[in-house]
Amino acid sequence: MTHLITDTFTKPITVIGVRHLTDSAYVLRFDRNDRPFSAGQHVILGIKNENNAREYSVYSGENDDYFEVLIKEVIEGDVSKRLKKLKPGSQLQMDGPLGFFTLETDHILSKRVILIATGTGIAPFRSYVRSFPDLNYHILHGVRHGNEAYDRENYDQQRYTLCTSGDQSGNYHGRLTDYLRETEIDTTAQYFLCGNVKMIHEAFDILNIKGVSQENMHAEVYF
Ligand SMILES: Cc1cc2nc3c(=O)[nH]c(=O)nc-3n(C[C@H](O)[C@H](O)[C@H](O)COP(=O)(O)OP(=O)(O)OC[C@H]3O[C@@H](n4cnc5c(N)ncnc54)[C@H](O)[C@@H]3O)c2cc1C
């Protein structure tokens, strides 16, 4: 979706650095300027004085004094390509953080949460895990190749299952939705799904058929 920024904050937002994870995926770190933020929210980000911006989930944690976003460059795209070329000191424009893909207090304190992502859809989940060290989570991450298991070492490996459809480097060889079909499902947990709409619809249906109620499923669609 194309956005124009109507930024009401006056402080400039400066790029701190770009960390390249693969040829196409990178983490952009920039000034937070003390803005309030709840893990799971996204920002609308663009280059200063350019009339184009996109939504990106915040990848950093609530207690970090900077913001990070995890972006995959879309070859036929516009903004994801241009943000990749930024250098420390470049100026950004931003709206937000916005959105309600956040954890409620009882999820954080007592509920088991299953975090299901494709690709960069893992971004809000890294923010949850980084913000709430005692979170009772399990991540299911679906990617094509093992090198897209972005910052895998940031997670407790007992709580992280990688599904790789294009090679055998994951814990499961195949699509994330096939893993869900073949695996026993905890019907008492809260489910959070993030990534492309096809995976979310398919996973929603599988979980629902296996007995997870719709009120225990929460989704954020990227594209
Ligand atoms: C709430 C929300 C949060 C988001 N968070 C993230 C995030 O954390 N990281 C991230 O990389 N993206 C995220 N996105 C997607 C992001 O906003 C842009 O759509 C993406 O970066 C492409 O922008 P672009 O200008 O480069 O391409 P565009 O010119 O906008 O799009 C070109 C085409 O690429 C498709 N597309 C968009 N994203 C992808 C993708 N990841 N892989 C393949 N095709 C894609 C679009 O549907 C479109 O057909 C999020 C989207 C939403 C709605």
pLDDT, one tens digit per residue, over 62-109 is 999 999 999 999 999 999 999 999 999 999 999 999 999 999 988 888
| Topology adopted by domain 13-98 | Elongation Factor Tu (Ef-tu); domain 3 (2.40.30)
Q: 137-179 pLDDT, tens per residue?
A: 999 999 999 999 999 999 999 999 999 999 999 999 999 999 9
How much is the pLDDT for 51?
84
In this prediction the pTM is 0.95
Q: 123 alpha carbon to ligand 1 midpoint, in Å?
A: 13
CATH of range 105-221; options 3.40.50.300, 3.40.50.80, 3.30.365.10, 2.60.40.1120 = 3.40.50.80
Q: 196 alpha carbon to ligand 1 midpoint, in Å?
A: 9
User: Hey, where are the domains in the chain?
Assistant: 13-98, 105-221
How much is the pLDDT for 2?
60
Instruction: Decide whether any atom of ligand 1 lies within 6 Å of the 71 Cβ.
Output: yes
**Residue 32: CB atoms within 10 Å:** 19
Beta bridge partners of 172: 163
Closest Cα to atom 15 of ligand 1: 222
Euclidean distance between the first and the last CA atom of the chain, given in angstroms as a whole number: 9
Considering the chain, what percentage of its residues have pLDDT values greater than 70? 96
